[in-house]
Chains A and B, each alone.
Chain A
Amino acid sequence: MQPVATAWFFYGLSAMAIISALMVITRKNPVHSALSLIFTLLSLAGLYLMLYAPFVAGVQIILYVGGIMVLFLFVIMLVNIEHNLREHQFNKQWFVATLATLVLGALFMFVYWKGKTLFPIVNAPAQEQANTQMVGRQLYTTYVYPFEIASILLLVAIVGAVVMAKKRI
């Protein structure tokens, strides 16, 4: 089966994801960072579509872009202070931290380069026509206990967020 999306889609989406991720950590204004993060999440949703995972792509757009990022923008609106824009945006350990992280990234690249025979280029694509049904069946049979535990986790998070944001408990 010939996939519709060619390699150019992959390179374009990856470049968009990485460039907007760099903009997330370099912009001064938190609103600009949030908008760049939205672009990163959307291009990652495109990459999920290229990987034959349409359900995860839909969840990514609905939950991340539609839910979490709106939450972020609301909190930025609540706590935005003007003099924060004139302060230093990076802390005193920025050079050491960047160096250590670049060494970590080089280690990743080295491991991938040495072990690239473990990941063959040719692999059978999953059946994309029934992806949502198959994911749902997995969620309700094999992973039913983690599913319920995730619902309890969300309940605890709701209660915790309300308690934290309340003025007087």
Chain B
Amino acid sequence: MAEIGTIHYLVVAAALFAIGTIGVLTRRNVVIILMSIELILNAVNLNLVAFSRMYGLHGQVFAIFVITDAAAEAAVGLGILIAFFRNKETINADEVDLLKW
């Protein structure tokens, strides 16, 4: 078996990033859109940790900051989702059209 280098991790992270982007752009359920955003953030984290093996610990520290941001984003996004569900009785993203003319 070949040795696993940084490029292998980058390819896996790019695949996860693309899957997350497809999820954000195509799904209607807001909960699954938020989960796809978590997928994208995790792909970035994998990139950061893979580079931290080459260039020192800074990538791991930044990955921890990204996880913090993901927690804050999930809390606020799900709060917005609950407020929206209370008003319109739906969780579909394309029915959020209060500002559409």
Contact = CB atoms under 8 A, between A and B. Distances in A.
A76 B31 contact: yes
Given A24-B39, A72-B78, A93 B5 contact: no
Interface in B2-61: 2-12, 14-23, 25-29, 31-32, 34-36, 38-39, 42, 45-46, 49-50, 52-54, 56-58, 60-61
B35 A24 contact: yes
B4 A18 contact: no
Contacts of A138: 57-58, 61
Contact of A97 (B11, B25, B91): B25
A34 B38 CA distance: 11
Interface string A152-169: 011011101111110100
A135 B93 CA distance: 39
A25 B57 contact: no
Interface of A: 6-8, 10, 14, 17-18, 21-22, 24-25, 30, 33-34, 37, 40-41, 44, 47-48, 50-53, 55-56, 59-60, 63-64, 67-68, 71-72, 75-76, 78-79, 81, 84, 87-94, 97-98, 100-102, 104-105, 108-109, 112, 116, 119-123, 125-126, 131, 134-135, 138-139, 142-143, 146, 150, 153-154, 156-158, 160-165, 167
Interface of B: 1-12, 14-23, 25-29, 31-32, 34-36, 38-39, 42, 45-46, 49-50, 52-54, 56-58, 60-61, 63-65, 67-76, 78-83, 85-86, 89-94
B38 A68 contact: yes
Main secondary structure of the interface of A (DSSP, over half): helix
Contacts of A157: 71-73, 75-76
Contacts of A164: 76, 79-80, 82-83
A101 B9 contact: no
A119 B11 CA distance: 12
Contact of B74 (A44, A72, A119): A72
A121 B21 CA distance: 29
Contact of A18 (B16, B27, B90): B16
A24 B65 CA distance: 24
Nearest to A163: B79
Given A14-B8, A135-B61, 9 more contacts: A6-B1, A51-B50, A52-B53, A72-B35, A75-B82, A88-B28, A101-B25, A142-B61, A160-B75
Contact of B18 (A24, A59, A101): A101
Given A30-B32, A122-B3, A157-B72, A59 B64 contact: yes
